[in-house]
Amino acid sequence: GAVVSQHPSRVICKSGTSVKIECRSLDFQATTMFWYRQFPKQSLMLMATSNEGSKATYEQGVEKDKFLINHASLTLSTLTVTSAHPEDSSFYICSATRIAETSDDEQFFGPGTRLTVL
Amino acid sequence: LAKTTQPISMDSYEGQEVNITCSHNNIATNDYITWYQQFPSQGPRFIIQGYKTKVTNEVASLFIPADRKSSTLSLPRVSLSDTAVYYCLVGAYSGGYQKVTFGIGTKLQVIP
């Protein structure tokens, strides 16, 4: 159990276009979803935290108007990269936490989405 | 959020036990220690989580000393498929979720 999916797995777009990435928790309800970005040979960098029905909390240095996050339900969060540019090319990974009964809950990660902006 | 320090890389031969140590000197009382494995172009995969002493599951053991300022992930008898980046994370349950910070990770290379 506890599977997180992402769609699409890979996307190539032209500079200036917007790209939407979906993150779904397939067999559990997620209280919180996280969005990370990972550049080649680097670690995951947390971009934002989203809770269902409320505005996302962005990390310092992440433009909220460029990376739009919508967490419409307990199983779906979307990240939209608006007016994408080549420097936005990266590996985007989401994760989700279950509605926790104890304080040691883990994050379940999606498989990632490779975005390439030409 | 507590910062973690791990070796950047390690090499090991197949069949050997591998121990990766992570330092987290400013770990907070309510922080848990979690280890993840990541293969190239994939999302991280949960390995093990603990709070104190020793935790063991079907793939690894986690040793945490009494002061909790470090932890050691132990992988018994590694195989080539264990070649990956291993991340040590420290984070707390806070308002319904566990916010964590990824360090640089340890790149483990298993040699035939």
Q: What's the pLDDT tens digit per position in A46-63?
A: 999 988 888 899 999 999
Question: Which chain B residues are closer than 8 Å to A49 by Cβ?
Answer: 97, 99
Per residue in A65-116, pLDDT (tens digit) is 999 999 889 899 999 999 999 999 999 999 998 765 555 566 889 999 999 9
The answer to whether B99 contacts A106, with C-beta atoms less than 8 Å apart, is no
A13 by DSSP, 3-state: which? strand
CA distances (Å), origin A62, targets A16, A90, B75: 18, 14, 36
B43, B93, B102 ranked by CB distance to A112: nearest: B43
For the segment B33-90, what is each residue's pLDDT rounded down to a tens digit? 989 999 999 999 989 989 998 999 999 999 999 999 999 999 999 999 999 999 998 8
Q: How far apart (Å, rounded) are the C-alpha atoms in residues B104 and B112? A: 25
Spatial distance between the Cα atoms of B35 and B16, rounded to a whole number of angstroms: 19
A74: distance to nearest CA of chain B, Å? 13
Average pLDDT, chain A: 90
Q: Is A58 on the interface with B (CB under 8 A)?
A: no
Q: What is the predicted pLDDT for the residue at B72?
A: 97
CA dist B26 → A45, A59, A65 (Å): 20, 21, 34
Residue A6 corresponds to which tokens in the numbers above?
Answer: 């992402």
Interface test with B, best of A9, A10, A43 (most B CBs within 10 A): A43
Answer whether residue B102 shows pLDDT above 70: yes
- B47, B86, B101 from A90: Cα distances, Å: 25, 20, 18
